[in-house]
């Protein structure tokens, strides 16, 4: 199972693995041992296509080397490319999309019996219980934290973004199903959940409207604040995170719910994209740099220890030097803990891809990218240094990949901490450490004490959640 792209895709991969395991397959340690390779693809930025077809070239050799080997390609890029995958790589057995994850095993069986198959659904099948991938069996990667889908699709029209085209329209998952899934996860020893959606602030707007149409006396509008409160008060849940909100829809009630629910972590991923009002308007983002900063100030007033991370795109068509300088200014003022910077990439089918006449010279973009990096790295490093000497609560992820003698974990602010523990700590342990050094992208610390041991007894191999 190889996954590209965002957490949404990683979560889909857990479902695909869960389905295949329910069907009798087991995870292979290497390609050599594998009978089936699944690629779960992403198409948000350039090069994904070239990389996919490159990988499929290698996989042809892998497939030819042994009778009975199969290749499955799913995810956003196949949703976008449809028949193209099979025509460019006819040795692929199954091509599926984002709306039929639940059909993985049937499709694989069909391909084994009848030959290669491409099945891409245009949209989600609404009355299907499998609509929300969380309702499928999962092969969760870790047993102490879990992703929970609260919404699929996206109704926004950001000019650069391919997501609405590949993930469909926005549909919220019923409130009680989400809370029940979180209760079930907590009963299995999960202590940290991350709520997933493309635009979580609007969660429940469609549910409220539908309920009112059916005559229920409920207030119209999103229900995300209440969801945070309810999920956050599930027994056993110590940390709640979510991604991603949209600044245009960020409301005070959500910030208040974050501040007033102790388990909701002090971390906000708050995608800025650009600081220039002119560019924000071309992007159809629905807010200004000033409004973004005002809301951020409110968030920090309510949660003084809030860590803020963001996404910024450099070189959107028509971005002038003045526009870019405004992005630098807003980024400096926002004082982010961490920033994901992206170079604009035209995605066929999006509005921005048609703005050829205004594409920015790559050399100019590269230079701007570096200038932005200097600004955001400086603020990240200062933020991290400011944590030196503090005692932080850490959830243990396991031994550091580089140095097995070092333990790695995350603070409530979602910062990576490397620290040395006197004895091995199991993943999922809560411990405290004193921060001894803040580096640009991580913290170092000294172990203080164990707060609690993990309660899950085993990895959750296949959790069938019928909620």
Positions touching ligand 5AD (CB under 6 A) are: 44-45, 160-161, 271, 273, 311, 313, 342, 344-345, 347
CA distance 279 to 316: 8
Which does residue 167 bind out of ligand 5AD, ligand SF4, none, counting CB within 5 to 8 angstroms by kind?
A: ligand SF4
Task: List, as own/partner pairs, every contact residues 324-327 make where C-beta atoms lie below 8 angstroms and the sequence separation is at least 24, other chains included.
Answer: 324/276, 324/368, 324/371, 324/372, 326/274, 326/275, 326/276, 326/277, 326/289, 327/272, 327/274, 327/275, 327/276, 327/279, 327/372
Q: How far is the CB of 98 from ligand SF4 (least distance, A)?
A: 7
CA distances from 80 to 84, 134, 165, 283 (A): 9, 23, 8, 21
Which does residue 5 bind out of ligand 5AD, ligand SF4, none, counting CB within 5 to 8 angstroms by kind?
A: ligand SF4
Q: How far is the CB of 202 from ligand 5AD (least distance, A)?
A: 16
Q: How far is the CB of 131 from ligand 5AD (least distance, A)?
A: 23
* 20 versus 162: smaller Cβ distance to ligand SF4: 162
Which does residue 344 bind out of ligand SF4, ligand 5AD, none, counting CB within 5 to 8 angstroms by kind?
A: ligand 5AD
Helix H or strand E encompassing 302: helix 289-302
Rg of the chain taking only CA atoms, in angstroms: 23
For residues 100 and 119, is the Cβ–Cβ distance under 8 A?
yes
Which of residues 63, 102, 167, 368 is near ligand SF4 by CB under 6 A?
A: 167
Q: Does 276 bind ligand SF4 (CB under 6 A)?
A: no
Which does residue 182 bind out of ligand SF4, ligand 5AD, none, counting CB within 5 to 8 angstroms by kind?
A: none
Q: How far is the CB of 343 from ligand SF4 (least distance, A)?
A: 15
Q: How far is the CB of 223 from ligand 5AD (least distance, A)?
A: 23
For residues 429 and 396, is the Cβ–Cβ distance under 8 A?
yes
Which of residues 16, 19, 20, 44 is near ligand SF4 by CB under 6 A?
A: 44
Q: For ligand SF4, which stretch binds (CB under 6 A), given 37-45, 236-244, 367-375, 415-423?
A: 37-45
* 3 versus 276: smaller Cβ distance to ligand SF4: 3
For residues 239 and 263, is the Cβ–Cβ distance under 8 A?
yes
Find all residues with CB under 8 Å of 407, minimum gap 6, and list them: 396, 398, 399, 400, 418, 419, 420, 421, 424, 425, 447
CA distance 196 to 207: 17
Which does residue 9 bind out of ligand 5AD, ligand SF4, none, counting CB within 5 to 8 angstroms by kind?
A: ligand SF4
Which does residue 69 bind out of ligand 5AD, ligand SF4, none, counting CB within 5 to 8 angstroms by kind?
A: none
Query: How would you list the strands of the sheet with 70-75, edge to edge?
Result: 2-3, 36-41, 70-75, 94-96, 117-119
Q: How far is the CB of 120 from ligand 5AD (least distance, A)?
A: 21
Interface of this chain with ligand SF4, residues 104 to 163, rule: CB under 6 A = 162-163
Residue 204's SS3 state is coil
Q: Does 271 bind ligand SF4 (CB under 6 A)?
A: no
Tokens of 334: 């926002």
* 138 versus 162: smaller Cβ distance to ligand SF4: 162
Torsional sign, CA 249, 252, 256, 259? positive
* 8 versus 264: smaller Cβ distance to ligand SF4: 8
- In Å, the largest CA–CA distance within the chain is 64
* 278 versus 456: smaller Cβ distance to ligand 5AD: 278
CA distances from 318 to 148, 328, 373 (A): 38, 17, 21
Q: Which residue is nearest to ligand SF4 (CB)?
A: 5
Which does residue 43 bind out of ligand SF4, ligand 5AD, none, counting CB within 5 to 8 angstroms by kind?
A: ligand SF4
Which of residues 38, 42, 120, 312 is near ligand SF4 by CB under 6 A?
A: 42
Interface of this chain with ligand SF4, residues 61 to 80, rule: CB under 6 A = 76
For 82, other C-beta atoms within 10 Å of its C-beta total 15
* 204 versus 271: smaller Cβ distance to ligand 5AD: 271
Find all residues with CB under 8 Å of 240, minimum gap 6, and list them: 192, 193, 194, 195, 228, 231, 232, 261, 263, 264, 265
Site size toward ligand SF4, by CB under 6 A: 12
Residues that bind ligand SF4 (CB under 6 A): 5-6, 8-9, 42-44, 76, 162-163, 166-167
């Amino acid at each position: 199972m190889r996954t590209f792209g965002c957490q949404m895709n990683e979560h889909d991969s857990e479902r695909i693995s869960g389905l295949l395991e329910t069907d009798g397959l087991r995870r292979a340690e290497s390609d050599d041992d594998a009978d089936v390779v699944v690629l779960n693809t992403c198409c948000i930025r350039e090069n994904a296509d070239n990389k996919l077809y490159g990988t499929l070239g290698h996989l042809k050799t892998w497939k030819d080397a042994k009778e009975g080997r199969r290749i499955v390609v799913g995810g956003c890029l196949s949703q976008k490319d449809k028949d193209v995958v099979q025509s460019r790589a006819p040795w692929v057995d199954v091509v599926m999309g984002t709306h039929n994850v639940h059909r993985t095993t049937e499709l694989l069986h069909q391909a084994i019996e009848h030959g290669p198959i491409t099945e891409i659904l245009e949209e989600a099948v609404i009355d299907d219980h499998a609509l929300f991938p969380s309702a499928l069996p999962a092969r969760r990667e870790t047993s102490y934290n879990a992703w929970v889908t609260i919404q699929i699709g996206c109704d926004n029209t950001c000019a650069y973004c391919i997501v609405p085209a590949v993930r469909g329209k926005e549909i919220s998952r019923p409130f009680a199903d989400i809370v029940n899934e979180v209760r079930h996860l907590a009963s299995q020893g999960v202590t940290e959940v991350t709520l997933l959606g493309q635009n979580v602030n609007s969660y429940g707007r469609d549910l409220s409207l539908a309920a009112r149409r059916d005559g229920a006396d409920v207030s119209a509008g999103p229900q995300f604040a209440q969801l945070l409160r309810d999920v956050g008060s599930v027994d056993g849940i110590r940390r709640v995170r979510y991604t991603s909100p949209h600044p245009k829809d960020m409301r005070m009630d959500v910030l208040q719910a974050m501040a007033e629910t102790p388990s909701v972590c002090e971390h906000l991923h708050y995608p800025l994209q650009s600081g220039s009002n002119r560019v924000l308007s071309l992007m159809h983002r629905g807010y200004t740099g000033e409004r973004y900063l005002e809301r951020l100030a409110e968030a920090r007033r309510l949660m003084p220890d809030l860590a803020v991370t963001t996404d910024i795109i450099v070189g959107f068509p028509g971005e002038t030097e003045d526009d870019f300088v405004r992005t630098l200014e807003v980024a400096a003022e926002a004082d982010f803990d961490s920033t994901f910077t992206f170079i604009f990439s035209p995605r066929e089918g999006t509005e921005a891809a048609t703005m050829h006449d205004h594409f920015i010279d790559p050399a100019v973009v590269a230079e701007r990218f570096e200038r932005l990096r200097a600004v955001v790295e400086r603020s990240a490093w200062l933020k991290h240094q400011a944590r030196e000497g503090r005692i932080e609560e850490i959830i243990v992820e396991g031994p550091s990949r580089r140095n097995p003698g070092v333990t790695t974990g995350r603070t409530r602010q979602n910062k990576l901490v490397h620290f040395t523990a006197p004895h091995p700590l199991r993943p999922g342990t809560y411990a405290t450490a004193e921060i001894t050094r803040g580096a640009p992208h991580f913290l170092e610390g000294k172990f203080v004490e164990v707060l609690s041991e993990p309660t899950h007894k085993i990895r959750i191999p296949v959790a069938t959640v019928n909620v």
